[in-house]
Chains A and B, each alone.
Chain A
């Protein structure tokens, strides 16, 4: 944890993006039907109604209908569908 505090302080002081230094997730939501998440850890749960993704800071839970993973690589995951809620924790 101490390491993270130091990294956050370095990132703040040197104006370096936090996601690069601390490996925290970057979540981009376009409208109601596309979400891209970078720096994710793993997928906990996946169905057409919900998807739960583990990240370094917390779990990200997305609910909706017709969810599908349109793109999956080591670091990036893109979900498409009709979104209802997005929760952290």
Chain B
């Protein structure tokens, strides 16, 4: 409540306010008037202080929730609406409105979301019905390439974080179910057996599926005789190097898109999975050649409460198709860029490039960039959990 106080002993008035523990704020002394804000309970305690200091006060304005409620208490529909708003916010926060998937590289979001839907987890379901442990197990069973998974439910969002392995399937030769075997043909550059006995040496050439670390220990008993072999899950670090060749072609003549800068923007609103067109006209562009850029904006309350509403923005960007002829230098640059893109897509993320030699060949209409690579990576794959020759896990062997 904002009040103005007039009188002669304004400083004494302030001192009595603080002495009586009446909280006051935004106090200004202008033109003989003291303007200040006090609470309702503070205002009730003012009377004896005003009498003591021979001051008078006048209420200038009333702000705050108590006055707001008082002003609107007779507006039943408004009060009902406000109450319903709170009820709706609470009710809506009891459902899952967004399933977010992170960490996937080979698997697509759509595939995983569809799998979740088939297993009874979908956007719009009651969030307390989700059993994340069961879902985790089902996903891991169905996708063996997922090496790690975490499912966290935050507000109305279900966050699925996964980590994929390279997806290489290894065909084992005479390997036991607990051995470490090679994932590719290569030359061994490093072998550290943490558990088990190394089966190869540095410099050996190995083929895909060859045993690298055997799951047995060569131990001697007290008489100096070889002890019975004790199988255990073998593990270790084995790195190998190999050569490979990656090529990328670029034609001298290329069709490019010369964007004119003209754009058509269409907005639509998706509520509870139903699409509403907000432009009230047909979503159709008059452009002849265009690229479509789509963007979905999920409406959220804070970071953890996505709402069942998505604004869909579709942009049509007009372009004119043009044919350009590259010069030798430009074609070479383009070929190199294409090669680098291909290398990024083809090579495993963990591998090191020890040597790289790029050659360009110019033939007729094409420029070919070829990279001769010497690569190094971890090649050891533990066969413990993978079914080999009809056996699974160690129990069969033990």
Contact = CB atoms under 8 A, between A and B. Distances in A.
Given A70-B26, A72-B27, A43 B21 contact: no
Contact of B11 (A45, A48, A70, A73): A45
B25 A71 contact: yes
B18 A73 contact: yes
Contact of A72 (B10, B18, B28): B18
A38 interface: no
A73 B15 CA distance: 10
A10 to B, nearest CB: 29
A88 interface: no
B129 interface: no
Given A43-B11, A45-B11, A72 B29 contact: no
A42, A45, A72, A77 interface centre (most CB from chain B within 10 Å): A72
Contacts of B17: 72
B76 interface: no
Contacts of A77: 18
B303 to A, nearest CB: 32
Contacts of B23: 72-73
A14 B18 CA distance: 32
A74 B18 contact: yes
B21 A69 contact: no
Contacts of A47: 29
A45 B26 CA distance: 17
A40 to B, nearest CB: 8
A68 interface: yes
Contact of A68 (B11, B19, B21, B27): B27
Given A47-B29, A69-B14, 7 more contacts: A42-B15, A43-B14, A46-B27, A48-B28, A48-B30, A69-B25, A69-B26
The 8 nearest A-B residue pairs measured at CB: A69-B27, A42-B15, A68-B28, A72-B24, A74-B21, A47-B29, A43-B14, A43-B11
